[in-house]
Every structure is written in structure tokens, then in C-alpha cells.
Amino acid sequence: MKSLTPYFAAAGTLIFIAVFADFLTPYDPYVQDLEGALTPPNSTNLLGTDRYGRDVLSRVIVGSQTTLCASLLLLATISTVGSVIGAICGYSGGRLDTFLMRLSDIFLAFPQMVFAIAAAGALGGGLLNAAAALAVIGWPKYARIARGLVLSIRSMTYFDAVKMSGSSSVQILFAHVFPNIAGPILVTAALDIGTIIMELAGLSFLGLGAMPPTAEWGAMMNNGRSMLQTAPWVILAPGTAIFITVATFNLLGDNLRDVLGGQR
Amino acid sequence: MILQVEDLSVAYYGKKIVRDVNFSVEKGEILVIAGESGSGKSTILKSIGGLLGKGGNIIDGQIFFDGKEITNLPDSERRKISGDSIGYIFQNAGASFCPIRKIGEQIFESVKSHRDWSKNDFIARAEEIMLKINLKPEILEEYPFKLSGGMAQRAGILAATILEPKLLLADEPTSALDIVTQAGVVKELLKLRERLKISIILVTHDLKIAKFMADKVLIIKNGSQIEFGTKNQIFNAPQELYTRELLEAANL
């Protein structure tokens, strides 16, 4: 069996940096110094400064907090809400099932990012609104997976057996249904972290997510876009950070799937 | 009379699977429902146990258990008798346990739905029964996949009988087992009847087991009742051609 330790260690380091970002920054990420604007990387500012003279390294570190925490929270919300909706649909069936599944069909029918841009735009930007827009398009996937898993559990003998033992629906859901679908849901969620980070950073890049002066990787890249030729470090630093983070979580998800044997 | 079934008809998605079946079971009696695969034997058992599932409906007839009608009980009422006064043994007992939880935990959980036993009470009672059905107490701490077919079937018997139900429904409890284990399980069931004066309805396509265990036999073909009578009537003086054919095919 493959070892997951290096992937967990890498992801753990990123999360550690995000959580303790405030203590790890060499400079205050929000203090402007217009005299020292757009300094290339050197020994004092390891990744240079942006157009307001703010230390890019500090902003990338603090930005990880915004991006990673928002993404993980968002993911936890949609995977939980989606799975619960899906599990209830699969378990109860009938009209409720039909209604919720057609609703999820409607959301799945839109190109995800286009819908998110429209929704975030309509809601008026801001990190919270961007996350809400992504949540609206994110849950149906989990509802679908959970529903399918529950339907397959329902056809198992042990499902009849717990029913025959006189357990209540709530008991059956919590003791037998949720624990049995947790594995595949977890793997799907792990594979989704990268996508969510990209989508959230993407919305911020378009100006629909985090608002200035909040340090956020997507917004930082947008800031540095016009200076790509003259001061490439401003856009390269957050870009590389996104790349490393997304790659780390995707690798973690892939290997988690191999080990847990989830389905996709 | 512990169970009476009158004119029972069952349909799946509108298609009639069982037609006008009538039979009754007395206290301490073993009724064997026999017939070919797909004849509707299991469907009859499931309608008694309330396990018809999606698309399955009792469209006609009545089922009386212990003097009360249980034909189309609402879930909340059904829950009270399921596991408590009616036990169920499945064809593949290994699959009747949730794969990710220990056997003992699962049985204890179903016990808690009906009695407020402490964990120690439960273990004491379980071990008492396990001693009688040749099951090591360590099984309670095992996961289902570790059990052999015979052990799983015995664990199934433990789960179905720990609350001393009045009626035990057994759906082909031996057909997934080898001959030696089959004999073992059959003997356990007979001992159980002696000990608890429990009534058993056993569904099987194996007429040898029927002959060995039954007090009464119900022969089913294509969802219709062919013959219902005591073991003697069915095996020594069958009235119907189909019953004779079945007996001949089984070399009885």
C-alpha cells in the first residue's frame, strides 16, 4: 500500500502556514511604502514588493489564509449539505427525491464557472458572496454521489436486517448509512479541494471575490497582471502559490482515492 | 394461533407475484414454505416481515399476528414488533450485518431499540445463547467479513433470537451453506424451537430439509398455493400432481 504520509505532511504544512499566517509574515502585508514600490526580489523583500510597496512574500503568506480557509470551509459545507440532501433523497425516495434531484439537474445543467460568475456578479462580489455562488453550484455533485451510494446500500441485505431489527430511520441513517458512504464522499471532497481553490481564486481574479486590500491570491494576480513584463514577481508569486497548493491537494486526493478505493 | 394469513395477494409494480395464499401457524410450530426458485416463497415471507420494499404492495388479503392485524402496518407500529416479537434470518447472514461495524455492536444496537439492557446484560445474554448454538463469544468483537458462512449464519440466529421472538422468519437460511454446516444450522433451529417454543416459518427449495423440520408444509408454484397440510399429508399422501412431481424430483 502506498504511503500517504508525504502528501498529508505537505498539505498539513500548507494548512499550518494558513492558520498561523499572522505570525509567519516577515512584514505587515498591508503597510504601504510607495518609495519602495515594485522592488525586485532581494535580501530584505525575498519576493519583492508590489505597486504599493507591500511585501509580496507577506501577502502570499496571509493570502494563503484567505484562500485556503475559505476553500476548505466552503468544501466542508457543500460536501456535508450535499451528502445529507442526497442521503435523505436516496433513503426516502418519492416526491421529495424527485423534486430535489430535478433541482440538482438544473444546477448541473449550467456550466459551473459561468453560473458562479453570474451569481457572484449579481450578489455584488465579496469573498462571502463568491463562496455562496460556488456553494450553490457545488452541492448537487455530492447529493448525486450520496444518493447513488445510499440506493446501493438500500439494496443490501444488511439494510433489510437493520430495518427488521426495529431501528428507527434516524438511527439507521446515522449508524448505517452515513458511515458507509463517508469513504467515497471524503475522497471526492479531497479531489475537489484543488478545483474549489482554483474557482475561488478565479472569481477573485475577476474582481468578484476578495476585495482590496484583502490579500488573496487571485486578487493579487489581477493586481500584477498589468505589470507582467516590468515586474513579473508580483504575479508569479501568488500564481506559484496557487500552483503548489492545488497540486498538493490534488496529489493528496488522488492517493487517498487509491488507498481508500473510492469511486469517481 | 400465532399467525394467520388470509387470501394474501402481493404485487410488485402492479404485477401480481403472489395470489390468494392461505395458511396459519400455531405456537411452537414449524411451517415450511417450499417451491421452485422464483415461485414467490420469499415474497410471502417478506410481506409478513414488512420487508417488501420499493414497488412491493400487499394488494389483497390480511395477515394476523398474535391476534392483531399487521397487514399494512405504518412504520412506527411495525418497528415495535420487528426484532422484538418477529425475528428474521436471512439467506446470506454475512451480508445481513453492516460491513464496517462489529457484530456485537450491531446486535446490541438492535436490542436497544426494544429493551433498556446495559451492555453487560446484553453480553451475558448473548453469551448464554452463543454457548447453545456453538458460537465463540469472541465473535461479538469481530467484523462480519471475518466470519465463515456457518458462523455468520449462527450469528444471524443469535441476532434474530436474542429478544426471544414469538415468530421466526427464516429465508433459505441454509441454502448458502455446505451440507455439514446445513445440518448444524437445521439442528440449531430445531433446538431453538424446543427451548423457546418459538414458531418458525422457513422458506426453502430443499424438500429434504422440509421433510426433516416441518410440522406443516405449504407448496407454492408461480405465486399460487398448490397444497397446504401437515408433513404427513404432504409427504405421504400428496393430493396434487405438482407436489408429487416435486417429491419425485427430490427423490423423496
In chain B, DSSP assigns E strands to 3-12, 15-25, 30-35, 56-65, 68-69, 86-89, 167-171, 199-204, 216-221, 224-230
CATH of domain A57-260: 1.10.3720.10
Output the CA torsion sign for B91, B97, B102, B104.
negative
- What pLDDT was estimated at residue B29? 93
Instruction: Provide DSSP, B145-185.
Output: GGS-HHHHHHHHHHHHHTT--SEEEEESTTTTS-HHHHHHH
- Beta strand B56-65 with B3-12: parallel, antiparallel or unpaired? antiparallel
Question: Minimal Cα–Cα distance from B71 to chain A, Å?
Answer: 15
Locate cell 456578479: which residue? A121
- What pLDDT was estimated at residue A60? 92
Cβ–Cβ contact A169 with B under 8 A: yes
- What pLDDT was estimated at residue A111? 87
Cβ–Cβ contact B244 with A under 8 A: no
Q: Whole-angstrom Cα distance, residue B17 to residue B26? A: 26
Average pLDDT over every residue of A226-253: 91
Average pLDDT over every residue of B162-184: 86
Closest to B161 measured CA to CA, from B128, B137, B121, B136: B128
Question: What is the phi/psi pair of residue A228, to 5°?
Answer: -55, -40
Tell me which chain B residues have a C-beta less than 8 angstroms from the C-beta of A180: 98-100
- What pLDDT was estimated at residue A261? 63
Q: Whole-angstrom Cα distance, residue B227 to residue A3? A: 63
Burial grade of B204 (CB within 10 A; 0-12, 13-18, 19 or more): buried
Question: Does residue A1 carry a pLDDT above 60?
Answer: no
Question: Minimal Cα–Cα distance from A162 to chain B, Å?
Answer: 7
CATH topology of domain B3-93+168-249: Rossmann fold (3.40.50)
3 state DSSP class of B197: coil
Question: Does residue B251 carry a pLDDT above 70?
Answer: yes
Cβ–Cβ contact A162 with B under 8 A: yes
Question: Minimal Cα–Cα distance from A189 to chain B, Å?
Answer: 21
DSSP B248: H
3 state DSSP class of B15: strand
Instruction: Provide DSSP, B175-190.
Output: TTS-HHHHHHHHHHHH
Q: Is the ipTM of this complex over 0.90?
A: no
**Nearest Cβ partner of B98 from A158, A166, A169?**
A158
Inter-residue contact A86 to A146 (CB < 8 Å): yes
Inter-chain CB proximity A165 and B98 less than 8 Å = no
Average pLDDT over every residue of B164-191: 86
- What pLDDT was estimated at residue B202? 93
Tell me which chain B residues have a C-beta less than 8 angstroms from the C-beta of A91: none
Q: Whole-angstrom Cα distance, residue B196 to residue B166? A: 8
3 state DSSP class of B58: strand
Please give the mean pLDDT across all residues of chain B: 89
Tell me which chain B residues have a C-beta less than 8 angstroms from the C-beta of A168: 79, 113
Residue-wise pLDDT for A39-93, tens only, equals 888 888 888 888 888 888 999 999 998 888 899 999 999 999 999 999 999 988 8
- What pLDDT was estimated at residue B220? 93
> Where do the domains of chain A lie?
57-260
What does the longest C-alpha to C-alpha distance in chain A come to?
77
- What pLDDT was estimated at residue A184? 87
Question: Does residue A36 carry a pLDDT above 80?
Answer: no
- Beta strand B199-204 with B30-35: parallel, antiparallel or unpaired? parallel
Q: Whole-angstrom Cα distance, residue A191 to residue A37? A: 39
Bridge partner list, B68: B65
Closest to A160 measured CA to CA, from B156, B181, B77, B31: B156
- Beta strand B56-65 with B167-171: parallel, antiparallel or unpaired? unpaired
The answer for B 58-97 residues in CB contact with A (under 8 A) is 75, 79-84, 86-88, 90-92, 95-97
Inter-residue contact B103 to B155 (CB < 8 Å): yes
- What pLDDT was estimated at residue A59? 92
pLDDT band at B215 (very low <50, low <70, confident <90, very high): very high
Residue-wise pLDDT for A99-145, tens only, equals 999 999 998 888 888 888 998 889 887 888 999 999 988 999 999 99
Q: Whole-angstrom Cα distance, residue B35 to residue A192? A: 52
Which of B79, B108, B201 should be substituted to probe chain A, the one whose Cβ sees the most A Cβ atoms within 10 Å? B79
DSSP A55: B
| Nearest-10 Cα torsion for B41, B42, B45, B50 | -140
